[in-house]
Structure 1
Amino acid sequence: MLARKEFIQASLETNLFFQRIMKEHLALIEVNLPSVNASYITESNLLKSSFEDLLGETIIFGNCAIRESVLKSNELVTNYTLRAEEITSTLTGLKINTNITEAELDLRSDPDFDYTEWLEEKVQNINCRSLNLLEEVIKFKEKLLDLFLNCKIFMTMYPHMLHHLIDEAKLYKDLLLCLIEKTLPNKPICDELRFWNHIMEDHGEFIDGMLDPTEKDLKRRAEEFVKKFEELVKESIKCHEKQLAEKSLITTKEFRDFKVSAVEGLLNCKIKSIIPPLLGDHILREANHYIRILKEMKI
Structure 2
Amino acid sequence: MLSRREFIQLSLEHNLFFARIMKEHMIFIESGLLIIDSSLILEGENLKESFEDILEETVGLAEGAVSKPVLNSNEIVTPFTLESERITENLTGICIDKNITKSELELVSNSAFIHTEGLEKKLENLNERAINLVKEVIKYKEKILNKLLKCKMFANLYSLLIDHILREARYYLMALESIQKREMPVKDVLENQIFWDTIMKEHAEFVRGLLDPTEVELFNTANGFVGTFEKLIEKTKKAEPKNIPEITKKALEATTEIRDFKRQGTEGLINCQIKVMAYPLLADHILREANRYIRVLNIMK
- TM-score grouping bracket, smaller chain normalisation: over 0.9
Deviation readout 1:260-280 (Å, 9 max, x if unpaired): 110010000000000111000
Name the counterpart of 2:275.
272
Give 1:153 deviation, angstroms: 1.2
Residue correspondences, number = 298
Which residue pairs with 2:109 in the alignment?
Answer: 109
Whole-Å separation in 1 of the counterparts to 2:235 and 2:245 = 12
Deviations 1:223-265 (A, max 9, x none): 0001000111000122121111000001100110011110010
- For 1:217 and 1:209, how far apart are their aligned partners in 2? 13
Counterpart residue type for residue 283 of structure 1: I
Residue type of the alignment partner of 1:120: E
Q: Which residue of 1 aligns with 2:70?
A: 70
Paired position in structure 2 for 1:290 = 293
Asked if 1:21 is matched to 2:17, the reply is: no
1:243 match = 246
Residue 87 of structure 2 corresponds to 87
Note the C-alpha offset of 1:186. 5.0
- Amino acid across the alignment from 1:282: H
Query: SS of the counterpart of 1:271?
Result: coil
Classify the secondary structure of the residue corresponding to 1:275: coil
Match of 2:264 among 261, 264, 271: 261
Gaps of at least 5 residues in structure 2 are none
* Runs of 4 or more consecutive aligned structure 1 residues displaced over 3 Å after TM superposition: none
Structure 1 stretch displaced more, 275-284 or 180-189: 180-189
Secondary structure of the 1:66 match is coil
Kept after mapping to 1: 8 A contact 2:186/2:192: no
Identify unmatched segments of 5+ residues in structure 1: none
> Given the superposition, is the C-alpha separation of residues 186 and 45 from structure 1 closer, same or farther in structure 2, using an over 3 Å criterion?
closer
Q: 1:120 is matched with which residue?
A: 120
What does the per-residue CA deviation read over 1:108-152, in whole Å, with 9 as the maximum and x for residues that have no partner? 000000111100000101100000000000000000100111111
TM superposition score normalised by structure 2 = 0.98
Question: In structure 2, how many angstroms separate the alpha carbons of the residues matched to 1:110 and 1:272?
Answer: 43
Cα separation, partners in 2 of 1:77 and 1:186, compared to 1, 3 Å: closer
Encode CA deviations 1:31-74: one digit per residue, 9 max, x unaligned.
10001111000000000000000100000001110110000000
